[in-house]
Amino acid sequence: MKFLSDSFRVAAVAATVAFSALAAAGEGPDTTFVSPGAPTAMEALALKLASNPKIAPGPFKPTWQSLASQYHCPEWFRDAKFGIWAHWTAQCVPEQGDWYARNMYIQGSPDYEYQVKHYGHPSVFGFMQLDHLWKAQHWNPEKLMALYKAAGAKYFVALANHHDNFDNYNSKYQPWNSVNVGPKKDIVGIWAKVARADGLRFGVSNHSSHAWHWFQVAYGHDVTGPLAGVPYDAAHLTKADGKGKWWQGLDPKDLYCGLRIPMPASIKTPAQAEAWHAEHDGHWYEEIPPYDNGYAEKWFLRAQDLLDKYHPDLLCLDDTELPLGKFGLSIAAHFYNANEAWHGGKLEAVLDAKHMSPEHAPALVPDIERGVSEGIRPQPWQTETCIGNWHYDIHVFEQHRYKTVGQVVRMLCDIVSKNGNLLLSIPIKGDGTIDSDEVAFLHGMAAWMSVNSEAIFSTRPWVVYGEGPSTVEKPQAGVFGGARDVQKEAYTSDDIRFTTKGNFLYAIDFAWPESHQIVITSLAKGGAHLEGRKVEAVSLLGYDGALSWTWSDTGLHISLPAKAPSAHAFVVRVRLSKA
C-alpha cells in the first residue's frame, strides 16, 4: 500500500492512446503503452460476460449521482469504532515487508538482493513461486480472532487480494487463488466464518485494480551484471510451460497481467531502471488500462464474485475514489443493492476509498491511509493504518519498532472524537502466526479496553473534539493526507479528547498529571459548548471511589486518586443535565 509516486487522479483516455497528453498537462508521466497481446482464456470469458456489467437489482445505479444521493453510513459502523485487519499474502513469506512482489524485480533494491540470495534470480524464481511456497501451515484463525476480539475489535477485515493479483479465496475468475495454489485453503471464507462466530462484522479489502501496472516490473530484466538482458519470469513463461509442473493448467499471464509498459532499451543502470519504474509503472493509475483486453472486466467479475460468495458488510478499495471507470461504479452499486437484499431491505454496507472529491464523498465512507482527520467531520470516515509494515517485516519485530499500545490508544481516541473509525492491521507471518510483540500489543489493548471501552463504542463526537496543546498546534502532515496517525510530540495531561453517549460526556485525558489535578476548560460554567446544560456528576472509569470536583466559570476542576486506573489514557465520565 505504499506509493513510489504520489497518487494523482488522471482523466480516462482511449485505450489506443498513450498518456503523453496527460504528461504535457502535468497530470501524469509520458508513458507509452503496448498491447498485452491476445486475452487469456479467463480474460476472454470476462469480455464476454462483463463488457456491460450486470449488477444486483435495487435503487443504486452505477453513477456518482445515484450513489451520492442515496447512500448513508449504517449505524453498526458508527457504533463499532475499531476494526482489525489481516493484510496477509505470500508477500509475508520472505518477511521483508510491503511490496516485496514488486521490489524483488527491481535490480539493486534490498528485496531483489534478498530474493537472489534466498530463492533465486527472478528470471527463474519469480513471485508465482512464492505463491506456491506460501502454506499458512500454522494458521489458527480461531486463536487470532479471540485475541482481536479481546483487544476491542468490533469488525474484522480480510485482505482478499493485493497488487500481486492473487486471490485469497475460492475465486471463480482468477485461477491464481489460495484454493488452487499455496495454502490450498479458502482464506477469506474461513476468516468470514470465524469472525461471525465471534460476533464481529466481516469485511474484505480489494487492491487488485492496480496489478496491471504495478506488476510490470516482472516483465523486465537486469540491466547490468552476468544476467543482464535475461528476461524475468513473467516475460518468458507461458501456460504451456506449466505442463508436468505444480502450476499445470495455470497461465502466468493471468497473474502478471501481460506486458503493457515496456522498459526502454536506453535504460543502462539499476538506478535509472528504478527511477523509470517509479515514474511509469509505479504511477497510480485509476482508469481502464490502454489496450485493456479484458483486465477491467475480469476485475469486476472477481470483485462481484467476492461479494456474492462472502456477503461482507465492509469493502475497502485501495483506490483514489473508484477504479476502472464504469466497472468501479458498477461494483459500488452492486454491493449496495446486494447488501440491502442480504439484510432484508436494510442497507448495512460500508465502502471506503481514498482522496474523495467533495461532490463524490457522500457516495461512500472516505478513508485516510496512515493519517487522521484534523477535525470533526460531519460524516463518518476511517483511518487505515498498521502497527508496523503492511506485509510482515521481521526487522520491525527484531528492532521492536511496532506502534505501542499507548500510541494506538491515543490515536483511536483522537479518531473517535472526530467521528471516525480505526482499522488497524496486525501483520501476519507467512506461516499464519503473529510474533510475541504483536501478542503483547493485543493483550495491552485488551487491558485498556477492559476499563475504558465505554468511552469508545457507540459514542458520537461532541461539539468540539478536544482541548489542550495538541488541538491548537499545527499537526504533522500524514503521508497520504490528513494529519500523521501517530504524532511525534508527546501529549500532556492538558490534552483531552471528548466523546458522548446519551447524557454522558467522556473526557479522555492522554497523560496522568503528577499533580493529580485536571481542569477541563471546555466545561466552564456558562460556556457556549454546554448550551445551558449543567454538570451533575463526575466519575473516573475503572475507579470505584468518589471524586472531589468543583465547577466554575474557568472549567471543571477535578482531583484524581493517587493511582491511574489504566495506563496510556484515562477517562473522566461527566453526567450532564438533559438539554
Going by pLDDT thresholds of 50, 70 and 90, the confidence category of residue 579 is: confident
Question: What confidence tens digit (pLDDT) does each residue in 476-494 have?
Answer: 888 888 888 898 889 999 9
| pLDDT of 407 above 50 | yes
Going by pLDDT thresholds of 50, 70 and 90, the confidence category of residue 332 is: very high
Mean pLDDT of 254-266: 96
| Confidence at residue 30, expressed as pLDDT on a 0 to 100 scale | 84
Which DSSP helix (H) or strand (E) runs through 236? helix 233-236
Please state, in angstroms and rounded to a whole number, the distance separating the CA atoms of residues 53 and 63. 13
Cell digits of residue 368: 485516510
User: Around 465, how many Cα atoms within 13 Å sit in the side-chain half-sphere?
Assistant: 21
Q: How far is CA 168 from the centre of its chain?
A: 16
Q: How far is CA 439 from the centre of its chain?
A: 21
Q: Among 371, 444, 465, which Cα is nearest to 411's?
A: 371
Q: Is 71 helix (H, G, I), strand (E, B) or coil?
A: coil
Spatial contact of 413 and 497, defined as CB atoms under 8 Å apart: yes
Please state, in angstroms and rounded to a whole number, the distance separating the CA atoms of residues 487 and 484. 6
Fold for 20-369, please state it: TIM Barrel (3.20.20)
| pLDDT of 104 above 80 | yes
Cell digits of residue 359: 461532490
Q: Among 363, 457, 349, 334, which Cα is nearest to 74's?
A: 349
Do 20-369 and 466-576 fold alike per CATH?
Answer: no
Please state, in angstroms and rounded to a whole number, the distance separating the CA atoms of residues 428 and 441. 14
Please state, in angstroms and rounded to a whole number, the distance separating the CA atoms of residues 452 and 573. 10
Instruction: Enumerate the β-bridge partners of residue 508.
Output: 497, 571
User: Around 525, how many Cα atoms within 13 Å sit in the side-chain half-sphere?
Assistant: 9
Mean pLDDT of 47-62: 97
Q: Is 308 helix (H, G, I), strand (E, B) or coil?
A: helix
Residue type (1 letter), 453: S
| Confidence at residue 135, expressed as pLDDT on a 0 to 100 scale | 98
Going by pLDDT thresholds of 50, 70 and 90, the confidence category of residue 19 is: very low
| pLDDT of 8 above 50 | no
Question: What confidence tens digit (pLDDT) does each residue in 351-362 have?
Answer: 999 999 999 999
Question: What confidence tens digit (pLDDT) does each residue in 71-92 have?
Answer: 999 999 999 999 999 999 999 9
- Residues 6 or more apart in contact with residue 335 via CB below 8 angstroms: 307, 315, 349, 351
| pLDDT of 23 above 60 | no
| pLDDT of 447 above 60 | yes
| Confidence at residue 487, expressed as pLDDT on a 0 to 100 scale | 83
CA angle 41, 45, 49 (to 5 degrees): 170
CATH class of the domain comprising 466-576: mainly beta
Residue type (1 letter), 147: L
Going by pLDDT thresholds of 50, 70 and 90, the confidence category of residue 9 is: very low
- Spell out where 473-531 has E strands: 483-484, 496-501, 504-509, 517-520
| Confidence at residue 22, expressed as pLDDT on a 0 to 100 scale | 40
| Confidence at residue 476, expressed as pLDDT on a 0 to 100 scale | 87
Going by pLDDT thresholds of 50, 70 and 90, the confidence category of residue 28 is: low
Question: What confidence tens digit (pLDDT) does each residue in 367-376 have?
Answer: 999 999 999 9
| pLDDT of 3 above 50 | no
| Confidence at residue 413, expressed as pLDDT on a 0 to 100 scale | 98
| DSSP state string for 262-297 | PPPTT--SHHHHHHHHHHTTTS---SPPTT-TTHHH
| pLDDT of 208 above 60 | yes
| pLDDT of 327 above 90 | yes
| pLDDT of 11 above 80 | no
Residue type (1 letter), 125: F
Domain boundaries, the chain: 20-369, 466-576
Mean pLDDT of 454-462: 98
Residue type (1 letter), 129: Q
How high does pLDDT run on average in the chain?
94
Going by pLDDT thresholds of 50, 70 and 90, the confidence category of residue 211 is: very high
Mean pLDDT of 439-452: 98
| pLDDT of 32 above 50 | yes
- Residues 6 or more apart in contact with residue 460 via CB below 8 angstroms: 78, 419, 499, 500, 501
**Residue holding cell 511496532?**
402
